[in-house]
Amino acid sequence: MKIIVTYDIYEDKQGSKRRMKLHHFLRELGINTQKSVFECNVSREELRIIRRYAEKNLNLQKDKLRIYHLCKHCYSKALVQGQGIEITQLQYQIF
């Protein structure tokens, strides 16, 4: 399934560390299309892994993580302006 993951990490003493760890984690699952936005093509299990990661590693009282599911119809209607790689152009494997 195609998803968009966005995040906003609260700036406290550990905020930068949480942000960097989350960024590196999500880079394994998709394309970093904007500063705190990832486009991912994941299985249901990989989606569960993302949610578990957030529960264990983020401060859910202050940090925000949003996951948007994109149906095929909606994804095909997405407008992209400017440069960058689209999720359909990426080939990767998760080990």
Q: How far apart are CA 59 and CA 54, in angstroms?
A: 8
Phi and psi of 37, rounded to 5°? -130, 130
Looking at domain 2-73, does it have CATH number 3.30.1360.70?
no
Q: What is the DSSP letter of 89?
A: G
**pTM > 0.85:** no
Q: What are the sequence ranges of the domains in the chain? A: 2-73
pLDDT for the residue numbered 80: 73
Separation between Cα atoms, residue 11 and residue 17, nearest integer Å: 10
10-residue stretch averages of pLDDT, the chain, 95 residues long: 95 93 96 93 96 96 96 77 61 47
pLDDT of residue 82: 74
What was the pLDDT predicted at 74?
A: 80
